[in-house]
Structure 1
Amino acid sequence: MHIATGIRGLRRLATSGIAAVISLATVLVSPAVAHHGWPGFDTDRLVYIAGSVSSDGTWGNPHSLFHVTLDSSLPADTPELAIPEQLQDPEDSIRVNAALSYKGPHKELEIIIAPPAWSGRWGLGRALKVGERFQAVGYINRTDDGLFRPVVFWYGDDNVPVNQVLGNTLPVRAPLPN
Protein backbone atom coordinates (compact mmCIF):
# COMPACT_ATOMS: atom_id res chain seq x y z
CA MET A 1 0.00 0.00 0.00
CA HIS A 2 1.21 3.46 -0.84
CA ILE A 3 1.69 5.77 2.17
CA ALA A 4 -0.34 8.66 0.66
CA THR A 5 -3.28 6.32 -0.01
CA GLY A 6 -3.15 5.08 3.59
CA ILE A 7 -3.12 8.62 4.99
CA ARG A 8 -6.08 9.66 2.81
CA GLY A 9 -7.99 6.61 4.04
CA LEU A 10 -7.27 7.49 7.66
CA ARG A 11 -8.42 11.09 7.07
CA ARG A 12 -11.68 9.87 5.51
CA LEU A 13 -12.24 7.50 8.42
CA ALA A 14 -11.53 10.26 10.97
CA THR A 15 -13.80 12.72 9.14
CA SER A 16 -16.58 10.11 8.95
CA GLY A 17 -16.18 9.34 12.65
CA ILE A 18 -16.37 13.01 13.62
CA ALA A 19 -19.43 13.52 11.41
CA ALA A 20 -21.12 10.49 12.99
CA VAL A 21 -20.43 11.77 16.52
CA ILE A 22 -21.80 15.23 15.63
CA SER A 23 -24.91 13.70 14.04
CA LEU A 24 -25.53 11.48 17.06
CA ALA A 25 -25.05 14.40 19.46
CA THR A 26 -27.50 16.51 17.45
CA VAL A 27 -30.12 13.75 17.51
CA LEU A 28 -29.70 13.20 21.23
CA VAL A 29 -29.69 16.89 22.20
CA SER A 30 -32.32 18.33 19.83
CA PRO A 31 -35.42 16.81 21.48
CA ALA A 32 -34.25 17.93 24.91
CA VAL A 33 -33.56 21.46 23.74
CA ALA A 34 -36.86 21.66 21.87
CA HIS A 35 -38.80 20.34 24.88
CA HIS A 36 -36.97 22.05 27.74
CA GLY A 37 -35.34 25.20 26.36
CA TRP A 38 -37.01 28.60 26.50
CA PRO A 39 -37.01 28.88 22.67
CA GLY A 40 -39.57 26.04 22.58
CA PHE A 41 -42.04 28.25 24.43
CA ASP A 42 -44.09 31.25 23.29
CA THR A 43 -41.96 33.87 25.04
CA ASP A 44 -43.89 36.70 23.35
CA ARG A 45 -46.62 36.42 25.99
CA LEU A 46 -46.47 35.73 29.71
CA VAL A 47 -49.49 33.85 31.05
CA TYR A 48 -50.86 33.51 34.60
CA ILE A 49 -52.29 30.17 35.76
CA ALA A 50 -53.69 28.95 39.07
CA GLY A 51 -55.01 25.66 40.35
CA SER A 52 -54.15 22.52 42.28
CA VAL A 53 -51.40 19.99 41.72
CA SER A 54 -53.17 16.95 40.26
CA SER A 55 -50.35 14.39 39.83
CA ASP A 56 -47.31 13.17 41.73
CA GLY A 57 -45.32 13.77 38.57
CA THR A 58 -41.56 13.44 38.42
CA TRP A 59 -39.28 15.21 40.90
CA GLY A 60 -35.80 15.07 39.40
CA ASN A 61 -33.44 15.83 36.55
CA PRO A 62 -33.27 17.26 33.97
CA HIS A 63 -36.58 18.91 35.01
CA SER A 64 -39.43 18.18 37.37
CA LEU A 65 -42.84 17.56 35.79
CA PHE A 66 -46.36 17.42 37.22
CA HIS A 67 -49.92 18.36 36.29
CA VAL A 68 -52.08 21.18 37.59
CA THR A 69 -55.86 21.23 37.30
CA LEU A 70 -56.72 24.86 36.62
CA ASP A 71 -59.23 26.87 38.64
CA SER A 72 -62.54 27.09 36.79
CA SER A 73 -62.47 30.88 37.11
CA LEU A 74 -59.24 32.86 36.86
CA PRO A 75 -58.86 36.60 37.47
CA ALA A 76 -58.20 38.77 34.41
CA ASP A 77 -54.51 39.09 35.25
CA THR A 78 -51.92 38.14 37.85
CA PRO A 79 -53.11 38.84 41.41
CA GLU A 80 -50.77 40.68 43.75
CA LEU A 81 -48.19 38.12 44.84
CA ALA A 82 -44.67 38.49 46.23
CA ILE A 83 -42.10 38.62 43.43
CA PRO A 84 -38.86 36.72 44.13
CA GLU A 85 -35.95 39.04 44.88
CA GLN A 86 -34.17 37.97 41.68
CA LEU A 87 -37.06 39.19 39.48
CA GLN A 88 -37.82 42.48 41.25
CA ASP A 89 -36.23 44.64 38.54
CA PRO A 90 -39.13 46.77 37.22
CA GLU A 91 -38.50 45.48 33.68
CA ASP A 92 -39.35 41.99 34.95
CA SER A 93 -41.74 42.48 37.88
CA ILE A 94 -44.03 44.76 35.84
CA ARG A 95 -44.30 42.03 33.19
CA VAL A 96 -44.96 39.28 35.76
CA ASN A 97 -47.66 41.37 37.45
CA ALA A 98 -49.25 42.28 34.10
CA ALA A 99 -49.47 38.70 32.77
CA LEU A 100 -52.98 37.93 31.56
CA SER A 101 -54.73 34.78 32.75
CA TYR A 102 -54.69 31.60 30.70
CA LYS A 103 -57.57 31.44 28.22
CA GLY A 104 -56.61 28.23 26.42
CA PRO A 105 -58.64 25.08 25.88
CA HIS A 106 -57.15 22.90 28.63
CA LYS A 107 -58.55 22.34 32.11
CA GLU A 108 -55.26 20.75 33.14
CA LEU A 109 -51.69 21.65 32.13
CA GLU A 110 -48.45 19.74 32.41
CA ILE A 111 -45.94 21.92 34.26
CA ILE A 112 -42.19 21.72 33.70
CA ILE A 113 -39.98 23.34 36.34
CA ALA A 114 -36.27 23.47 37.10
CA PRO A 115 -34.60 20.42 38.64
CA PRO A 116 -34.61 20.04 42.45
CA ALA A 117 -31.11 21.50 42.92
CA TRP A 118 -32.18 24.73 41.22
CA SER A 119 -35.70 24.98 42.67
CA GLY A 120 -34.31 24.19 46.12
CA ARG A 121 -31.99 27.20 45.98
CA TRP A 122 -34.98 29.47 45.34
CA GLY A 123 -37.45 28.09 47.87
CA LEU A 124 -38.83 24.67 46.88
CA GLY A 125 -36.84 21.84 48.45
CA ARG A 126 -39.40 19.06 47.94
CA ALA A 127 -41.86 17.63 45.45
CA LEU A 128 -45.23 19.35 45.37
CA LYS A 129 -48.13 17.36 46.81
CA VAL A 130 -51.34 16.41 45.03
CA GLY A 131 -53.99 18.95 46.02
CA GLU A 132 -51.44 21.65 46.86
CA ARG A 133 -52.17 25.19 45.61
CA PHE A 134 -50.07 26.29 42.61
CA GLN A 135 -49.98 29.65 40.84
CA ALA A 136 -47.49 30.62 38.15
CA VAL A 137 -46.55 33.09 35.46
CA GLY A 138 -44.79 31.64 32.46
CA TYR A 139 -45.04 30.49 28.88
CA ILE A 140 -47.06 27.96 26.87
CA ASN A 141 -45.07 25.56 24.68
CA ARG A 142 -45.12 26.44 20.97
CA THR A 143 -45.88 22.89 19.75
CA ASP A 144 -47.72 21.42 22.77
CA ASP A 145 -50.23 23.94 24.15
CA GLY A 146 -50.82 21.65 27.14
CA LEU A 147 -47.25 22.21 28.41
CA PHE A 148 -46.46 25.24 30.60
CA ARG A 149 -43.09 26.48 31.86
CA PRO A 150 -43.11 29.09 34.64
CA VAL A 151 -40.61 31.90 35.07
CA VAL A 152 -41.93 32.22 38.63
CA PHE A 153 -44.44 30.21 40.64
CA TRP A 154 -46.07 30.33 44.04
CA TYR A 155 -47.04 27.23 45.99
CA GLY A 156 -49.01 26.29 49.08
CA ASP A 157 -51.41 28.29 51.19
CA ASP A 158 -48.63 30.81 51.94
CA ASN A 159 -47.94 31.50 48.23
CA VAL A 160 -44.19 30.87 48.61
CA PRO A 161 -42.49 32.45 45.54
CA VAL A 162 -39.96 30.43 43.53
CA ASN A 163 -37.77 31.93 40.79
CA GLN A 164 -37.40 29.65 37.73
CA VAL A 165 -34.98 31.59 35.52
CA LEU A 166 -31.21 31.41 35.48
CA GLY A 167 -29.89 34.67 36.77
CA ASN A 168 -31.89 37.73 37.59
CA THR A 169 -33.90 38.51 34.47
CA LEU A 170 -36.63 36.94 32.39
CA PRO A 171 -35.25 34.82 29.54
CA VAL A 172 -37.09 37.12 27.12
CA ARG A 173 -38.84 40.32 28.10
CA ALA A 174 -42.20 39.89 26.41
CA PRO A 175 -44.04 43.04 25.35
CA LEU A 176 -46.36 44.43 27.99
CA PRO A 177 -50.04 43.64 27.38
CA ASN A 178 -52.18 46.53 26.14
Structure 2
Amino acid sequence: MESCAATACSRSRAKRGRYCKSHSKKLNKYGHPLGRPIPRNWLFHFAAQAMPVIVAHSTDHPGIKLALGELQSLLGAPHVLLGSRAGDHIARIAATAIEPRYVLAMVASVALFDRDQPRFLRDAKAYRFAIARAVLSLAPCPRSIAPRSRALDAIGSLMVTRYSALLAVILAAIDTTDRQARERAAAMSAPLPTL
Protein backbone atom coordinates (compact mmCIF):
# COMPACT_ATOMS: atom_id res chain seq x y z
CA MET A 1 0.00 0.00 0.00
CA GLU A 2 1.25 3.52 -0.80
CA SER A 3 2.28 5.94 1.90
CA CYS A 4 0.66 9.27 2.73
CA ALA A 5 1.52 12.21 0.45
CA ALA A 6 1.99 14.61 3.38
CA THR A 7 5.53 15.69 4.14
CA ALA A 8 7.39 13.36 6.53
CA CYS A 9 4.43 10.99 7.00
CA SER A 10 5.10 7.31 6.57
CA ARG A 11 1.59 6.02 7.39
CA SER A 12 -0.35 4.23 4.70
CA ARG A 13 -2.92 6.17 2.68
CA ALA A 14 -6.61 5.87 3.25
CA LYS A 15 -8.61 3.90 0.70
CA ARG A 16 -9.62 7.08 -1.10
CA GLY A 17 -7.38 10.10 -1.47
CA ARG A 18 -3.69 10.84 -1.21
CA TYR A 19 -3.38 11.13 2.57
CA CYS A 20 -3.64 9.01 5.68
CA LYS A 21 -6.70 9.39 7.93
CA SER A 22 -5.05 12.01 10.12
CA HIS A 23 -3.93 14.23 7.27
CA SER A 24 -7.23 13.78 5.41
CA LYS A 25 -9.01 14.99 8.52
CA LYS A 26 -6.78 18.07 8.71
CA LEU A 27 -7.30 18.74 5.00
CA ASN A 28 -11.07 18.71 5.46
CA LYS A 29 -10.95 20.77 8.64
CA TYR A 30 -8.21 23.35 7.93
CA GLY A 31 -7.83 23.30 4.14
CA HIS A 32 -4.33 21.82 4.19
CA PRO A 33 -3.02 18.39 5.26
CA LEU A 34 -0.52 20.06 7.61
CA GLY A 35 -2.99 22.72 8.77
CA ARG A 36 -3.81 23.60 12.34
CA PRO A 37 -6.21 26.05 13.97
CA ILE A 38 -5.33 29.67 14.62
CA PRO A 39 -5.14 30.08 18.42
CA ARG A 40 -8.32 31.79 19.67
CA ASN A 41 -6.42 34.30 21.79
CA TRP A 42 -4.60 35.51 18.65
CA LEU A 43 -7.87 35.80 16.74
CA PHE A 44 -9.46 37.86 19.48
CA HIS A 45 -6.32 39.99 19.87
CA PHE A 46 -6.38 40.89 16.18
CA ALA A 47 -10.18 41.32 16.20
CA ALA A 48 -9.74 43.82 19.04
CA GLN A 49 -7.31 45.74 16.82
CA ALA A 50 -9.71 45.74 13.87
CA MET A 51 -12.90 46.59 15.73
CA PRO A 52 -12.09 50.27 16.56
CA VAL A 53 -11.26 50.91 12.89
CA ILE A 54 -14.50 49.30 11.73
CA VAL A 55 -16.58 51.20 14.30
CA ALA A 56 -14.83 54.53 13.65
CA HIS A 57 -15.34 54.30 9.89
CA SER A 58 -18.71 52.50 9.79
CA THR A 59 -20.63 55.70 9.05
CA ASP A 60 -18.24 57.62 6.79
CA HIS A 61 -16.28 55.00 4.81
CA PRO A 62 -18.35 53.81 1.83
CA GLY A 63 -16.60 50.42 1.62
CA ILE A 64 -17.14 49.55 5.28
CA LYS A 65 -20.70 50.85 5.10
CA LEU A 66 -21.40 48.68 2.04
CA ALA A 67 -19.74 45.61 3.60
CA LEU A 68 -21.76 45.93 6.80
CA GLY A 69 -24.95 46.25 4.73
CA GLU A 70 -24.05 43.16 2.66
CA LEU A 71 -23.24 41.18 5.79
CA GLN A 72 -26.55 42.25 7.31
CA SER A 73 -28.41 40.95 4.26
CA LEU A 74 -26.31 37.75 4.30
CA LEU A 75 -27.22 37.18 7.94
CA GLY A 76 -30.86 37.89 7.07
CA ALA A 77 -31.07 35.45 4.15
CA PRO A 78 -27.99 33.18 4.17
CA HIS A 79 -29.36 30.54 1.81
CA VAL A 80 -29.64 33.04 -1.05
CA LEU A 81 -25.86 33.50 -1.53
CA LEU A 82 -24.71 30.19 -0.08
CA GLY A 83 -25.86 26.61 -0.45
CA SER A 84 -27.96 24.84 2.12
CA ARG A 85 -25.14 23.57 4.39
CA ALA A 86 -23.09 26.78 4.39
CA GLY A 87 -26.30 28.79 4.70
CA ASP A 88 -27.30 26.73 7.75
CA HIS A 89 -24.07 27.69 9.51
CA ILE A 90 -24.49 31.38 8.70
CA ALA A 91 -28.12 31.13 9.88
CA ARG A 92 -26.78 29.79 13.19
CA ILE A 93 -24.72 33.00 13.54
CA ALA A 94 -27.77 35.11 12.68
CA ALA A 95 -29.86 33.24 15.27
CA THR A 96 -27.43 34.28 18.02
CA ALA A 97 -27.86 37.98 17.05
CA ILE A 98 -24.23 38.50 16.07
CA GLU A 99 -23.80 41.93 14.46
CA PRO A 100 -22.15 42.31 11.03
CA ARG A 101 -19.27 44.36 12.47
CA TYR A 102 -18.19 41.35 14.54
CA VAL A 103 -18.21 39.16 11.44
CA LEU A 104 -16.10 41.74 9.58
CA ALA A 105 -13.75 42.01 12.58
CA MET A 106 -13.18 38.24 12.55
CA VAL A 107 -12.43 38.32 8.81
CA ALA A 108 -9.98 41.18 9.42
CA SER A 109 -8.42 39.29 12.35
CA VAL A 110 -7.47 36.41 10.07
CA ALA A 111 -5.95 38.87 7.58
CA LEU A 112 -3.96 40.49 10.41
CA PHE A 113 -2.87 37.10 11.71
CA ASP A 114 -1.77 36.05 8.21
CA ARG A 115 0.24 39.25 7.88
CA ASP A 116 1.85 38.68 11.28
CA GLN A 117 2.46 34.93 10.78
CA PRO A 118 2.82 34.52 6.99
CA ARG A 119 3.92 30.87 7.06
CA PHE A 120 1.12 29.60 9.31
CA LEU A 121 -1.62 29.50 6.66
CA ARG A 122 0.09 27.53 3.93
CA ASP A 123 -2.00 28.44 0.88
CA ALA A 124 -5.13 30.25 -0.33
CA LYS A 125 -7.40 27.35 0.57
CA ALA A 126 -6.09 27.29 4.16
CA TYR A 127 -6.65 31.08 4.28
CA ARG A 128 -10.29 30.68 3.14
CA PHE A 129 -10.88 27.89 5.66
CA ALA A 130 -9.35 30.00 8.45
CA ILE A 131 -11.65 32.91 7.62
CA ALA A 132 -14.69 30.64 7.60
CA ARG A 133 -13.68 28.99 10.87
CA ALA A 134 -13.09 32.39 12.49
CA VAL A 135 -16.49 33.68 11.39
CA LEU A 136 -18.23 30.49 12.50
CA SER A 137 -16.46 30.62 15.87
CA LEU A 138 -18.73 33.54 16.77
CA ALA A 139 -21.52 31.00 17.32
CA PRO A 140 -19.96 27.68 18.37
CA CYS A 141 -21.77 24.52 17.37
CA PRO A 142 -21.78 20.95 18.65
CA ARG A 143 -19.45 18.48 16.95
CA SER A 144 -22.37 16.64 15.43
CA ILE A 145 -23.13 19.58 13.11
CA ALA A 146 -19.58 20.85 12.59
CA PRO A 147 -19.09 22.45 9.16
CA ARG A 148 -17.77 20.23 6.38
CA SER A 149 -15.06 21.26 3.96
CA ARG A 150 -17.45 22.38 1.20
CA ALA A 151 -19.31 24.68 3.58
CA LEU A 152 -16.04 26.10 4.93
CA ASP A 153 -14.74 26.69 1.40
CA ALA A 154 -18.01 28.34 0.31
CA ILE A 155 -18.11 30.70 3.30
CA GLY A 156 -14.39 31.52 3.08
CA SER A 157 -14.54 32.10 -0.68
CA LEU A 158 -17.50 34.45 -0.29
CA MET A 159 -15.74 36.48 2.39
CA VAL A 160 -12.43 36.66 0.49
CA THR A 161 -13.95 37.63 -2.86
CA ARG A 162 -16.27 40.25 -1.39
CA TYR A 163 -14.01 41.86 1.20
CA SER A 164 -10.36 41.47 0.14
CA ALA A 165 -10.06 45.09 -1.08
CA LEU A 166 -11.76 46.31 2.09
CA LEU A 167 -9.36 44.28 4.22
CA ALA A 168 -6.46 46.17 2.64
CA VAL A 169 -8.11 49.45 3.72
CA ILE A 170 -8.67 48.17 7.26
CA LEU A 171 -5.07 46.92 7.52
CA ALA A 172 -3.75 50.29 6.26
CA ALA A 173 -5.89 52.13 8.85
CA ILE A 174 -4.56 49.87 11.62
CA ASP A 175 -0.99 50.51 10.43
CA THR A 176 -1.63 54.26 10.50
CA THR A 177 -3.07 54.06 14.01
CA ASP A 178 -0.09 51.99 15.21
CA ARG A 179 2.40 54.39 13.62
CA GLN A 180 0.71 57.39 15.23
CA ALA A 181 0.75 55.66 18.62
CA ARG A 182 4.48 54.91 18.26
CA GLU A 183 5.18 58.53 17.29
CA ARG A 184 3.24 59.80 20.31
CA ALA A 185 5.12 57.40 22.58
CA ALA A 186 8.45 58.54 21.11
CA ALA A 187 7.50 62.18 21.58
CA MET A 188 6.53 61.51 25.20
CA SER A 189 9.80 59.74 25.97
CA ALA A 190 11.99 62.38 24.31
CA PRO A 191 14.04 64.44 26.77
CA LEU A 192 12.64 67.84 27.64
CA PRO A 193 14.64 70.83 26.43
CA THR A 194 16.65 72.53 29.15
CA LEU A 195 16.24 76.23 29.74
Report the TM-score when normalising by structure 1.
0.28
Say which one has the larger Rg: 1
Q: Which has the higher strand share?
A: 1
Q: Which has the higher helix share?
A: 2
